[in-house]
């Protein structure tokens, strides 16, 4: 059974591109573009990994992360925070890493994306 990845990003082109690349690699990918959908889908599907954009309207990625970490059904899911805002992530890097959250800066390097995903959940299939 392929590893399941939940992608959360309000940029449709980026979401589609990540979805296509990871699906082609053999992962089962679900994408969504709103923070509330991210929380709902994480609770319902319990993915093996969540790639979460920080800068979203309404509830931002930091708030989504907090909700997911407080929920017993989602608190252990590995999360990769993605953002083009290097300064915001750099300021929180030590804290995030201590909470088991990885960082991925955009624009993505495909090799770095694959390396991060494989390090956290392994290859798409056993």
Minimal CA–CA distance to 77: which of 106, 104, 43? 43
Give the CATH number of the domain where residue 105 resides: 3.40.50.2300
Residue 85 lies in a domain: yes
Read off the pTM: 0.88
Domain extent for 72: 4-114
Domains of the chain: total: 1
Residue 10 lies in a domain: yes
Residue 69 lies in a domain: yes
Residue 126 lies in a domain: no
- Residue-wise pLDDT tens digits, 74-85: 999 999 988 777
Residue 125 lies in a domain: no
Residue 47 lies in a domain: yes
Answer whether 29's CB lies under 8 Å from 19's CB: yes
- Residue-wise pLDDT tens digits, 34-55: 999 999 999 999 999 999 998 8
């Amino acid at each position: 059974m392929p590893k399941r990845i939940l992608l959360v990003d309000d940029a449709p082109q980026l979401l589609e591109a990540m979805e296509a690349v990871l699906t082609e690699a053999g992962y089962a990918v679900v994408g969504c573009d709103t923070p509330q959908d991210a929380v709902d889908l994480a609770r319902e599907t319990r993915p093996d990994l969540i790639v979460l954009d920080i800068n979203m309207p309404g509830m931002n990625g930091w708030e989504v992360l907090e909700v997911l970490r407080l929920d017993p059904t989602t608190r252990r899911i590995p999360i990769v925070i993605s953002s083009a805002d290097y300064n915001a992530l750099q300021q929180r890097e030590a804290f995030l890493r201590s909470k088991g959250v990885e960082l991925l800066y955009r624009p993505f390097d495909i090799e770095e994306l694959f390396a991060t995903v494989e390090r956290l959940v392994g290859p798409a299939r056993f």
